[in-house]
Amino acid sequence: MGSLTVDILAEEPPLAKFADTKTTEVKTEEVTLEEKSIDLGYTEGSKAEYTIIEEPSRSKRKIRIVCVGAGASAINFAHEVEQSKLDLELVCYDKNPQIGGTWFENKYPGCACDIPSVNYQLTWAPSAHWSSFYSGAPEILRYFQGAAQKHGLMKYFKVNHRVVGAYWQENEKMWLIKVQMGDNPEDVFEDKCDIFINATGVLNKWKWPEIKGLETFQGAKLHSANWDDKVELKGKKVGVIGSGSSAVQIVPSIQPIVGDMKCFIRSPGWVTAGFGQRFAGKGGTNFKYSELQKYILANDPKKYLAYRKKIESELNARFRFILNGSTEQQEAREAAEKDMRRKLAKKPEIADFIIPKDFAVGCRRPTPGNGYLEALCEDNVTVVSQSIQEITPKGIKTVDGQEHEFDVLVCATGFDVSWKPAYPTIGRENRSLADEWKDVPNTYLSITVPHFPNYLIFNGPFGPYGHGSFLPITELLGRHFIKILDKMSSEGVTSFEAKEEAVADFIQHRRQFLPRTAWSSPCRSWFKGGTVDGEVMMWPGSRIHFFETMENPRWEDYDLTYTTTNRFGYFGNGFAAREFDGRDLSWYLGLLDGDEMQQAFPDEDFAEFLTQA
């Protein structure tokens, strides 16, 4: 029989920082384990020296966080930090002169949200002042900026600060962040943080279309994500390249004022009403809230919440139409085609081209375009289905040899959707995130990446993009990230890194599941990196599926490092932090009046029970 002898040596016991403890004699004991072999996971002498930390268990250590971005995700996360009882230091750097993210950057005519206003808001900052069912970009920007100001969050943001590099420092278990002030590439300073968060989203790097001769055009060029209001459109000959979510808002907005407009549409697409169209105006159109409706929103919070929940519940039920072969998918297709043909009745030849024949509704994010199809039928609008060969000094030449002359070119051609960061992001072993993602931007559950410890992403690759309002998703992830920070702060964790095998399992599951969905059908979509047949970068399940999956971190999927050589180093000197910080010492019996702090219990209040006093 093998045996193991463990000597428990007497030594000076640790003392709490905040209280005296009596020393007790510790005797040497011999322990014999009746087993053939005992595997302790390390050999004698291989475990580094361990010293007990002289502080109570779960004493919170300070965590410093750098976040890139100042849009909805960053604003919500700042609120999470503001409300947290952890010792957190947060700074959010953003390249723009104001907070607001995409709602600050996108200023093109007609820019609006396709989610109902009352459901495109933060749960901790409901507004009773929405002017219409679907809100425009200026109103949404005012909402986010107002929420940040009202809740004291502006102190976390530094605008006109562009992150230009992020480098993991293994010895310190910290990120080194390089930040450029303003537009001067020489004015760069360094910051350090325990946690680096990317809250920029994928649709933040706009790009000109890759068309031969673009730079030769002698007229004005506009991009939907970099709009210049100074360019005069009234009475001009305008060419619009693109048919995505920006184009369908721009075209009906400028159609009444331009002289002549040609829309270059290279591929079919489903054009629908906005999300929650059953609650919108006739035919899914927008409408202004009446004074009575505004009064209810402002004065009946229960009914307001029920109204939001009614719409939200219907949005959450939409996932069924994404599943190939489902009754819901067939019904969605039939309804969308019928609606599109009705709106294109003046020019039915457009319907024959623009209505998809080989992919389902939802393959691309449905493009809500109130007034877009009707605008295409106006006398001053022409749809060009011929592919573009090149751009000339005077306009656009199509493959049939025709040259279309314009005063203004509008490029509603979107963004760089490769997911590659705009700055060097260098993790462990000098790995570059751009190189790691050169083929497929694999992630662990959309929130982090192996070899890039302490790096978190709000709605990264393979997150739920086509699943309704993004805001409840980003709120969920904010809470998820706070739970990660709690463990780091309370249990002496210095780094976390997703295991490669966990990512491999995620890849395997999603690659088997996603072919079941409309997202995999042959359409060109940014869900597939702007390709027709690329990998679908979508969450493999419904919105509620994501909510439940991401409720809590799965620590079994991470490799961790600690402040000491022992994972239980945070046990400390045997006391709990609660015993010294004033919290209730018998909380497990229940709280009195909801108070988490220890209350005084004077003897005189219990005289009838203190019979021996």
Report the range of poorest mean pLDDT among 1-15, 69-83, 162-176, 345-359.
1-15
Distance from C-alpha of 174 to C-alpha of 167, rounded to nearest angstrom: 9
Amino acid at 367: T
User: CA neighbours within 13 Å on the CB side: how many for 177?
Assistant: 25
User: For the residues 560-579, what does the mean pLDDT come to?
Assistant: 94
Is 90 exceeded by the pLDDT of residue 278?
A: no
| Closest to 550 measured CA to CA, from 541, 559, 563, 537 | 541
Q: What are the pLDDT digits (tens) for 330-352? A: 998 998 899 999 999 999 999 99
Per-residue confidence (pLDDT) for residue 431, from 0 to 100:
98
Q: Are 75 and 153 in contact (CB under 8 A)?
A: yes
Where do the DSSP E strands lie in 374-520?
A: 381-384, 388-391, 395-398, 403-405, 408-411, 425-426, 455-457, 493-498
Question: What are phi and psi for residue 255, nearest 5 degrees?
Answer: -55, -40
Q: For the CA atoms of 39, 45, 46, 49, what is the dihedral angle to 10 degrees?
A: 120
Q: Both tokens of residue 479?
A: 């809470």
Per-residue confidence (pLDDT) for residue 31, from 0 to 100:
36
Report pTM.
Answer: 0.89
Beta strand pairing status for 63-68 and 195-198? parallel
Is 60 exceeded by the pLDDT of residue 9?
A: no
Coil, helix or strand at residue 559: strand
Per-residue confidence (pLDDT) for residue 36, from 0 to 100:
34
pLDDT band at 121 (very low <50, low <70, confident <90, very high): very high
User: For the residues 49-77, what does the mean pLDDT come to?
Assistant: 95
Amino acid at 520: S
Crossing angle (nearest 10°) for helices 72-83 and 137-150: 20
Distance from C-alpha of 67 to C-alpha of 82, rounded to nearest angstrom: 14
Distance from C-alpha of 4 to C-alpha of 35, rounded to nearest angstrom: 9
Distance from C-alpha of 195 to C-alpha of 294, rounded to nearest angstrom: 42
Q: What are the pLDDT digits (tens) for 151-204? A: 999 999 999 999 999 999 999 999 999 999 999 999 999 999 999 999 998 767
Stronger pLDDT, 365 or 503, i.e. the higher one: 503
Q: Which whole-number Å values give the CA distances from 501 to 142, 433, 498, 556, in the listed order?
A: 44, 18, 9, 11
Q: Which residues contact 365 (CB under 8 A, 6 or more apart)?
A: 245, 465, 466, 525, 527
Stronger pLDDT, 9 or 472, i.e. the higher one: 472
> For the chain, what's the residue count?
613
Distance from C-alpha of 321 to C-alpha of 363, rounded to nearest angstrom: 11
Per-residue confidence (pLDDT) for residue 47, from 0 to 100:
60
Q: Both tokens of residue 115?
A: 């989610």
Per-residue confidence (pLDDT) for residue 29, from 0 to 100:
38
Per-residue confidence (pLDDT) for residue 1, from 0 to 100:
42
Cα end-to-end span (Å), the chain: 60
Q: What is the DSSP string of 232-247?
A: --TT-EEEEE--STTH
Report the range of poorest mean pLDDT among 130-144, 362-376, 579-593.
362-376
Q: For the CA atoms of 558, 564, 569, 570, what is the dihedral angle to 10 degrees?
A: -70
Q: Are 227 and 247 in contact (CB under 8 A)?
A: no
User: For the residues 489-511, what does the mean pLDDT come to?
Assistant: 97
Distance from C-alpha of 209 to C-alpha of 361, rounded to nearest angstrom: 25
Distance from C-alpha of 604 to C-alpha of 176, rounded to nearest angstrom: 59
Give the rounded distance of the alpha carbon of 172 from its chain centre.
Answer: 28
Q: Both tokens of residue 319?
A: 């996932």
Is 80 exceeded by the pLDDT of residue 273?
A: no
Is 60 exceeded by the pLDDT of residue 255?
A: yes
Per-residue confidence (pLDDT) for residue 274, from 0 to 100:
67
Give the percent of the chain with pLDDT over 70: 91
Per-residue confidence (pLDDT) for residue 580, from 0 to 100:
93
User: For the residues 394-412, what does the mean pLDDT come to?
Assistant: 95
Beta strand pairing status for 403-405 and 161-169? unpaired
239-276 burial by CB neighbour count: b if 16+ within 10 A, else e? bbbbbbbbbbbbbbbbbeebebbbbbbeebbbbbbbbb
Largest Cα–Cα separation, the chain: 107
Q: Both tokens of residue 400?
A: 């049939």
Is 60 exceeded by the pLDDT of residue 457?
A: yes
* Region for residue 69 given its phi and psi (left: phi exceeds 0; alpha: psi -120 to 50; beta: otherwise): left
